[in-house]
Structure formats: C-alpha cells, structure tokens
Amino acid sequence: MTEIEKMQKGKWHDANFDPELLGKRRAAEFLCFDFNHSRPESKEQFEALKKLLGGSVPEGLTLLAPVYFDYGFNTHFGENVFVNHGCYFMDGNTIDIGKNAFIGPFCGFYTSSHPLNYIDRNKGLERALPIHIGDNCWLGANVSILQGVTIGSGCVIAAGSVVTKDLPDNALAAGVPATVKKYIEQ
C-alpha cells in the first residue's frame, strides 16, 4: 500500500518524507500562492482554485484570500459556502463542508495528528481522519475542528472554540473543548 493510500484510509503513514506526498503538498502550496496573490474574482484566481480543488468549483462558493490547503483535492464544499480570510484546511483526509455554510476568519480544519512518542513522530508518521460539517452551519472566527469530527446540520460554533467531538444537528457549541450550550430552534 502506498503512503497516499494509507493516508486516505486513515492509517499511520509517512507524511514528512514520502516523495509523492511531498510533491502533492508542494503543488498545493504553489496553487495557494497563485490564488492568494491573484486579483480577487479574477480568472487567474478562479483557475488556481479550480486546480486546487481537483477540477471543479461548486456554485456560489466564496473563498477569501488568503486561504491554505495541504492538498486541496481532499476538501469538498457544498453550494453557497462562504469562507472568510485566513482559513486553513489540513486535508490529509477528506474535509466535507455542507451547503450554505458560513466559515469565519482564521478557522482551521485539522484532519491530521502525529504519534505522541517522539521516536515514531521523528519518522514522519502521521494519521489523518475525515471531518464532516453539515448543511447550514456557522463557524465563528478562530474555530478549530479536529480530526475525525462530524458536526451536524444547522450548528453554530462560537468564536474561538475547539471542536474535539461530534456535535448533533442544531447545536450551539462553545468552549475549549467545545460543548453543547443549547439547541437551536430552526
């Protein structure tokens, strides 16, 4: 099994020294540079985003520069998603964001983690688990979503929260770690 196959299956893999993964991250870094340094809403910016996301851009997607992706092709946006400035998508595994999501500035989506023991960590090992965000969610500024988390539809996550566990539909969550404060009547 290749390192990219291990990565996509959520297994421990060599993320730091494998030439194929290094090349894919470098390509995404160049495309992020092109996107971030193009005139907003220009053809150049759109083309960089299209390549970054693997060939298509969903209807109504608004991504404000700067934005950063580890790979790009592992992040999937629904229609009418708004992503504010400074967001980071550590997409070693899939990040699925439902339609009509509002993502505040400087949010981070972190699918990857490293071993706790330094011997394995120094080998470049990493494990990436998917993140799922439901439809009609709003993430305030500086929200961090950690690996393996599913956030239900209709959720609101307060600014500065760190989401470490799944959240059910229509939850208002806040804190570090984020906990459900109440449920939203839709």
Tell me, yes or no, if 114 is annotated catalytic: yes
Question: Which helix (H) or strand (E) segment is 32 a member of?
Answer: helix 19-36
Quick check: bond before 58 cis, omega within 30? no
Residue 138 phi, psi dihedral angles, 5° rounding? -130, 120
Roughly how many angstroms between the first and final C-alpha of the chain, as a whole number?
Answer: 46
The answer to whether 97 and 79 have CB atoms below 8 angstroms apart is: no
Interior angle at CA 167, CA 163 and CA 130, nearest 5? 65
From 13, 37, 114, 132, active-site residue: 114
Q: What is the largest distance, in Å, between two alpha-carbon atoms of the chain?
A: 49
List active site positions: 114
